[in-house]
């Protein structure tokens, strides 16, 4: 496993601007649209959210928290990316910290914890779930999205599955193994479904044509048509969305 300083370098500005994403900040409106859909599902399992505190591990540029603060009493997050947390603090005025959650003391009790496409990046997911379990009271809610290695697409694609992505993706779960991890630490799964995504066509084209296939001419030709200004909703049923409650 990589030491923390190397992980921070891995998730520096180039990761969000060219290496993994076309331009993460440019996609803010699409990303927030996606997060509104996730929150809608989450709120089905969180009564009286206006009295609850939400904490996000892996908060990146703060786009989820910028949506969540409209529903919860307090929101807070941590991320190891210096560039991402600086943007969230300075541009969105969000209470986020550049830190590893295992070394961080939250400002408020945690009623709702979210790990959006984050658990697969963690060196030891068990330690993070264990720490959350120790901090949360009975009735607390945890929400996780991650690739489902037991899905049809994952099994069909095998080692070519898009979520097989070292060195950033370190762990892979099926619905059964993630539920087992949560249950081991006192959480009962309340919802387990697939999570589609709103994605900009510009980002989809960039990932396929620039990162994977190195076809800049085709990418630039598509840009000139204007079609890449649009977005779409895509669900390959290989990303799971799990919501669990502390017993």
Query: Distance between CA atoms of 160 and 163, rounded to whole angstroms?
Result: 8
DSSP assignment letter at 73? S
**Strand, coil or helix: what is 70?**
coil
Q: Note the pLDDT of residue 1.
A: 60
- Every domain of the chain and the residues it spans: 4-198+235-246
Tokens of 87: 């943007």
Q: What is the pTM of this model?
A: 0.94
Taking 50 as the pLDDT cut, the residues of the chain under it are none
Average pLDDT, the chain: 95
To the nearest 10°, the Cα dihedral for 125, 127, 128, 129?
A: 90
Q: How many residues make up the chain in this entry? A: 247
Residue partners of 236: CB distance under 8 A and separation at least 6? 151, 153
Provide the edge-to-edge strand list for the sheet that holds 53-57.
96-98, 74-79, 53-57, 112-116, 141-147, 239-246, 187-194
Q: Is 4-198+235-246 in CATH node 3.40.50.300?
A: no
* Rounded distance between C-alpha atoms, residue 95 and residue 78, angstroms: 9
What is the tens place of the pLDDT at every residue in 223-241? 999 999 999 999 999 999 9
* pLDDT score, position 7: 82
């Amino acid at each position: 496993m990589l030491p923390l300083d190397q992980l921070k370098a891995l998730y520096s500005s180039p990761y969000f601007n060219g290496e993994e994403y076309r331009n993460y900040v440019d996609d803010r409106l699409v990303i927030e649209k996606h997060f509104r859909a996730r929150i809608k599902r989450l709120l089905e399992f969180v009564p009286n959210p206006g009295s609850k505190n939400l904490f996000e591990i892996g908060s990146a540029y703060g786009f989820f928290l910028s949506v969540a603060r409209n529903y919860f009493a307090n929101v807070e997050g941590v991320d190891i990316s210096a560039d991402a947390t600086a943007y969230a603090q300075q541009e969105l005025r969000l209470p986020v910290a550049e830190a590893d959650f295992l070394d961080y003391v939250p400002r408020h009790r945690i009623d709702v914890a979210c790990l959006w496409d984050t658990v697969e990046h963690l060196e030891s997911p068990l330690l993070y779930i264990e720490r959350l379990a120790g901090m949360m009271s009975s009735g607390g809610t945890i929400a996780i999205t991650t690739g489902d290695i037991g899905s049809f697409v994952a099994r069909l694609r095998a080692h070519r599955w898009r979520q097989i992505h070292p060195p950033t993706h370190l762990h892979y779960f099926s619905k059964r193994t993630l539920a087992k991890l949560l249950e081991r630490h006192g959480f009962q799964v309340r919802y387990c479904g697939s999570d589609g995504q709103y994605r900009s066509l510009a980002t989809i084209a960039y990932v396929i044509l620039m990162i994977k296939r190195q076809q800049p001419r085709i990418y630039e030709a598509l840009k000139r048509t204007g079609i890449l200004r649009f977005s779409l909703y895509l669900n390959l049923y290989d990303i799971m969305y799990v919501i669990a409650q502390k017993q």
